[in-house]
Structure 1
């Protein structure tokens, strides 16, 4: 990535120091709880929504700063990085990009203040990777729409008051709007706990009224813009995953330096040296792909292309599983105990080869992009 400005360096240095001083002690212990105390501390310092408009409480910066912040925080506290990613790159970003002025004023300030969150509801029982099979409908009714359908595998619901819901408008294709969880007709049915201990939710909507000011995308061309915007979710995931790799590597390097066997630190054995070298190589490659994709997008009017986004997230999620596994291996039995940070991280990183598009979907995106435009150019 090109050299950061003095302002960028100052902001990110302050974020790193704040995280190291306040988030490290409880890292990997949050389970299904949102790390509100960390989020509110970031809000007090003006670090939530770095890439959002200042008039809604954001930082007025770009996705470069947001991506770097997600990575930095994830390196200290993976769960806080997860929350930051969801609230900077997913549903609230859709509101910031596509929402009406009324919706932005209503929903964004509480999130920027660390008082609320917003979920993103896309998947349905019969529509996971294939969003074209989506059955949730939004039918026009006076000055709004009536939404009926079911969503599942939705993250962030327990600590959110609303969701950006993807829907089908009859005869007009797919789109999205904001649904309040306390609206009449919304039924939070089940919470599922995944391998990492995080809750995902199934909920139903029956004739739920949504005012027109809560419509985000409506019509084929508008929804295509939101599909492009979804690339930022993928890149945010890559940044979050890269931070998790650094978390694991920091632990492995420290342990290899301190743990002695056969009269010397285990990090002095060539087998461990070469292992660490290979892991750092993979981490740096993932980091470079993520940073380069963010830089390319911001220099292109903040439009992130799917080739860069899918390559970065696919590579990061694939190598993270290996990196965390080998860092656990360096610790041996010490890390293979419930409650150890690497035991948690080992379970956590597996999910990122599924979330925001499976490995297979990312490969499809890459193949489609190169068939359409080739490899692209350096300049």
Structure 2
């Protein structure tokens, strides 16, 4: 006989201000362990020093940091074999999130090492190149950089002027690359150059005669990051320095797409840091006899910030699941970078208004994140370029060469 008692509904968990959408339920134990490990490392190892590094415009311990990140498995972590961790794309995204929550420069170190330099070697290199470089790079014992952007060619890499010509059995490279993360501390540079047969990737050891890395000074952004100009003055390389699969412009663009995926997560780390700072500050800062968190306009700002932050995290998770399933398209990465960096900047700027004058002090992370995100907004594809990528995908019409 059927019971007249209605089925009991499962109890709802309490509302968590740190996770209002319950996104942690989308993560498994391995995901949560990796996030916890990197968050604790970043809080202990980077957070106490990064404001000073930013103010000084240098990271004095970059090689030590690289080795420690290597021991965490954070370098080239989604790659398989050769000492790489073989982690999921979602787990890599969580690492980017936690690293950029302390500073974009630290996430950039990992992103360029793993998603650009190591990824290029892993995907396009010979077995000998992989054996030589990937294990030491995964351990952080060697640092890599990625030379595509030039002083006069950023959004249009097809116009690059750096050239490689044959001289007997060797290659000779001449040209300049600009805004290269890790450049001055790199042991190897992945350099893209124009040959008679088209674009070709090369591995250039930093001790090659004619190769010079010049630190970029007077930056107002990414100051806790090594940024350099690379000069190649007749750098002679053996034939086996060329990446066998690294031909055509599609090769470096594939690397960029992979790195942009990390930015989709990382930008939300910077946004979370600013949101947390604003929420805590609003609860303790008193004006007109009560905390400013009790005023309607402040609550409206906090609510809007929380909405965009957690929408961005949900988008990042969705793209990560698609990447793990082998279904992520470059246009979808463009959508993620365009949205999340743009919204992260707005969250940081709103946090600045809540903190008032204190928002410009390096005692708080807000102004530092704002400055960093101005670079993140334009590197690895400006907002306008990603808008045009989406515009072409939506309309079928190419506006790049309009």
2:269 equivalent to 1:246: no
- Aligned-partner Cα distance in 2 for 1:309–1:64: 14
- CA offset at residue 114 of structure 1? 2.1
Deviations 1:64-121 (A, max 9, x none): 2211211122224443223222222122221122111221222222222222311111
**Shift in CA distance, 87/187, structure 1 to aligned 2, threshold 3 Å:** closer
- Aligned-partner Cα distance in 1 for 2:100–2:214: 31
- Aligned-partner Cα distance in 2 for 1:6–1:339: 34
Give the TM-score taking structure 1 as reference length. Answer: 0.89
Residue segments in structure 2 that go unaligned for 5+ positions in a row = 1-22, 398-402
2:330 equivalent to 1:306: yes
- Aligned-partner Cα distance in 2 for 1:115–1:142: 33
Residue segments in structure 1 that go unaligned for 5+ positions in a row = 374-379
Note the 1:242-321 alignment, pairs <5 A: 242-300=268-326, 304-321=328-345
Q: Aligned Cα RMSD in Å?
A: 2.4
Paired residue for 1:337? 361
Contact 1:28–1:78 at 8 Å: present in 2 too? no
Paired residue for 1:322? 346
2:211 equivalent to 1:186: yes
The match for 2:107 among 81, 86, 96 is 81
2:134 equivalent to 1:108: yes
2:166 equivalent to 1:140: yes
Note the 1:83-232 alignment, pairs <5 A: 83-170=109-196, 172-189=197-214, 191-196=216-221, 197=223, 198-216=225-243, 223-232=249-258
Contact 1:85–1:236 at 8 Å: present in 2 too? yes
Paired residue for 1:11? 34
Runs ≥4 in structure 1, deviation > 6 angstroms? Answer: none
- CA offset at residue 127 of structure 1? 1.6
Contact 2:194–2:200 at 8 Å: present in 1 too? yes
Deviations 1:146-183 (A, max 9, x none): 2111111222112212211111121x221211112210
**Shift in CA distance, 150/81, structure 1 to aligned 2, threshold 3 Å:** closer
- CA offset at residue 144 of structure 1? 3.8
Contact 2:348–2:366 at 8 Å: present in 1 too? yes
- Aligned-partner Cα distance in 1 for 2:113–2:207: 20
Paired residue for 2:75? 48
Paired residue for 2:386? 362
Task: Describe the SS at the equivalent of 1:119.
Answer: strand
How many aligned positions are there?
Answer: 368
Contact 1:81–1:240 at 8 Å: present in 2 too? yes
Task: Describe the SS at the equivalent of 1:208.
Answer: strand
Contact 1:66–1:88 at 8 Å: present in 2 too? no
